Amino acid sequence: MSATTATPNRLITAHQVADRLGLRLHRVYELTRAGQIPAVRLGCKQLRYDPRQLEAWIENGGSRDEG
């Protein structure tokens, strides 16, 4: 994912997260299921990610702890 791919107000897909983090798609889903990567669930099966939350997660060293 490049900076021009997503705007700050637009949710991104798991594929874009995998590209951004350099991970396999399966690993993104594992981390999401474990509650490590912040995600938004749309319906029963669709996951999307807020680029701002993802960047904050990266800056926080991959931790959801804010303290």
- Taking CA atoms, 44 is separated from 13, 36, 41, 48, 63, in Å, by 15, 19, 7, 12, 25
Q: What is the pTM of this model?
A: 0.77
Q: Is residue 5 part of a domain?
A: no
Which pLDDT belongs to residue 45? 85
Q: Is residue 25 part of a domain?
A: yes
Identify the domain containing residue 46 by its residue range. 14-59
pLDDT digits (tens), the chain, 67 positions: 454 455 557 999 999 999 999 999 999 999 999 999 999 999 888 999 999 999 999 999 887 665 4
Q: Is residue 27 part of a domain?
A: yes
Q: How many domains does the chain have?
A: 1
Q: Is residue 3 part of a domain?
A: no
Q: Is residue 24 part of a domain?
A: yes
Helix residue ranges per DSSP H, the chain: 14-21, 25-33, 51-59
Q: Which helix (H) or strand (E) holds 47?
A: strand 46-48
Which pLDDT belongs to residue 59? 92
